[in-house]
A = this chain, B = another copy of it.
Amino acid sequence: MQRPRVEFWYEFASSYSYLSVMRVEALAGAAGVDVAWRPFLLGPVFLSLGWNDSPFNIYPPKGRYMWRDLARLAEKYDLPFRVPSRFPRNGLLAARVALLGVEEGWIAPFSREIMRANFAEDREIGDEEVVEAVLRDLGLPAGELLAAAVATDNKLALRHQTEEATALGLFGAPTFRVGDELFWGNDRLEDALDWANRRPG
């Protein structure tokens, strides 16, 4: 029988994606559900909705609430958290690198370290030096991977994945997908895992 599976769509710039990137592997493991990591870019998705910035910046009351909510949730999940001095940061390079880690099997720890850099250590994850340092700390060949990340085929792969996100009806991150069902938001992770076990996708 096929193991149940959840697609995990996330963006390195996204604050609530931080919480799910840190939580998903342990929870999915406990639920016996495989995770397909799907980094993508929210920018083009937001543009298709008419937003040229994060809605948390466009709508200040939503933004103020979000940072407080995030601090409370980080405490609840026992995760480190510091309000970043820049938001949103550019997740493009990190997403390109992450794609390379899907087949090589290191996308989960890489994603966690990038997220920790952004939302716990206030580091500029848009800078190549930060991504390089994360790769090196994981014992990965940073130079090689950074070159492969910006090769044409990999750039196109991320573009296609982002187009697929829009085509699937995604409008935010994180989003969990089980079969044809979408679950939007870190607070739906548990529901998505329950659904995966109910109807194997």
Contact = CB atoms under 8 A, between A and B. Distances in A.
Contacts of A76: 191
Interface string A53-87: 00000010110110011001000100000000000
Interface majority SS (helix, strand, loop, mixed), chain A: helix
A181 B64 CA distance: 12
Contact of A64 (B62, B72, B169, B188): B169
A62 B191 CA distance: 18
A69 B169 contact: no
Copies in the assembly, this chain: 2
Interface in A28-67: 49, 59, 61-62, 64-65
Interface of A: 49, 59, 61-62, 64-65, 68-69, 72, 76, 169-171, 181-185, 187-188, 191, 195
